[in-house]
Amino acid sequence: MRMISEQARKVKLLIMDVDGVLTDGRLYYNAQGEESKSFYVQDGLGLRLLQGTGVQLAIISGRADRCVEHRARALKIDHYYGGVHDKKVALADLLDKTGFAPDECAFIGDDLIDLPILTRVGLAVAVPEAPPQVRQHCHYVTGNPGGHGAVRELAELIMQAQGTFEGVLARYLA
């Protein structure tokens, strides 16, 4: 866990996949064929708290989805890339825009499409539902499943490593 804390201490940008990470990976369609998703509110609060400590947030998703765009706006996500076919290209663009080095970034993903980012960032994280071929390339696998607290767990891990979590907690205990 010491190595994870050292990597998390450097994080200035948390990048996330969506389906299977911010959601449980299920796709819901109504009779008109419109898609909807379910997001876990505690993940959202964790992201807002992390962002309040100065860590920037980004989404890089293989799917373009209005539900995700709405959620990203609601959470004031700093950078949103939807409908990305090559996540390595999106990562390069994001690093260029932010000026961050790869080792200053964390990424949480759940499937093979995420490997081009997971293998390049300083803190690579998977959810437990990720296939073994993905988990083996990660520094950390969350205990909580995607769409059910995995992102909150990672946000708190980063804040604890950076020494900001106690201050966040103290605001609620005051």
16-41 pLDDT per residue, tens: 999 999 999 998 899 998 888 999 99
Percent of the chain with pLDDT over 90: 90
The pTM of the whole model exceeds 0.85: yes
Mean pLDDT to the nearest integer, 142-162: 98
Banded model confidence at residue 65, pLDDT cuts 50, 70, 90: confident
- For the chain, the domain total comes to 1
Give the type of residue at 43.
Answer: D
Q: Give the pLDDT confidence score for residue 34 in this predicted structure.
A: 87
CA distances, 167 to each of 30, 49, 91, 104, 108 (Å): 43, 10, 31, 22, 24
- The annotated binding site for Mg(2+) is made up of 17, 110
Q: Which helix (H) or strand (E) holds 170?
A: helix 165-173
Domain residues for 53? 4-171
Task: Tell me the pLDDT band of 1, cut-offs 50, 70 and 90.
Answer: low
Binding site, by residue number, is 17, 19, 48, 63, 71, 87, 110
CATH number of the domain to which 106 belongs = 3.40.50.1000
Using left for φ > 0, alpha for ψ between -120 and 50, and beta otherwise, residue 83 falls in left
As a whole-number percent, the residues of the chain with pLDDT over 70 amount to 99
Annotated binding site for substrate: 19, 48, 63, 71, 87
